Amino acid sequence: MDRWDGGAPLDDPGADGPGGPGPEGVADAVRVVPLRRRHLRSVVHIEEECYPQPWSATLFLSEIAQRSSRRYTVATIGPLVVGYCGLMVVEEDGHITTLSVDPGWHRRGIGTVLLLDQATAAPAHGVRHLTLEVRASNEAAQALYRRFGFAPVGVRRNYYAEQGEDAIVMWAHDIDTADYRLRLREIEAGLRSSQ
């Protein structure tokens, strides 16, 4: 069930994207809140825009029902849902199950805000290490994950079977340390300074 696509280039705080104003103030305007039923229509719409085999509303409902081992959030700007992110907790490991940004809001720091929220919250759920899979061709997403301390550790061949594409498995270790908290503070400061 887990899949990590990374979609198109998630964000580049210094670049304009289609569908609205430039990045100025966007990251500060983003609110990250728990994914609720009321968000599902928007989430599924983004899902269908981003993936050839999108998750259904039913699958998202089953995920958010598992409250002891899942943490799903949405990024909102005013009334709009502009992205979402999921975390599955298995003992000390947290698996980023999905991270997607509405294509009209790409390249504005929203993916960074969502991942920052999950990485900051994960230690309170007992998570010491984070992992995810990303398309081998998605260099922009890989660059984002490297900023968060993720490093490649392996390849899952033909993971994205619909396109016959491999996934790179990435891990960020020891996210419960002072050094990692400092990394997250620096990422957050970088978002603010780009506004």
Secondary-structure percent of the chain, ordered helix, strand, coil, rounded to 5? 35, 30, 35
Q: How far apart are CA 187 and CA 16, in angstroms?
A: 19
Active site residues: 133, 145
Q: How far apart are CA 74 and CA 81, in angstroms?
A: 7
Question: Would you call 52 helix, strand, or coil by DSSP?
Answer: coil
Q: How far apart are CA 62 and CA 154, in angstroms?
A: 29
Place of tokens 């978002």: 191
Place of tokens 């500060």: 28
Picking from 195, 5, 14, 18, the residue whose alpha carbon sits closest to that of residue 106 is 18
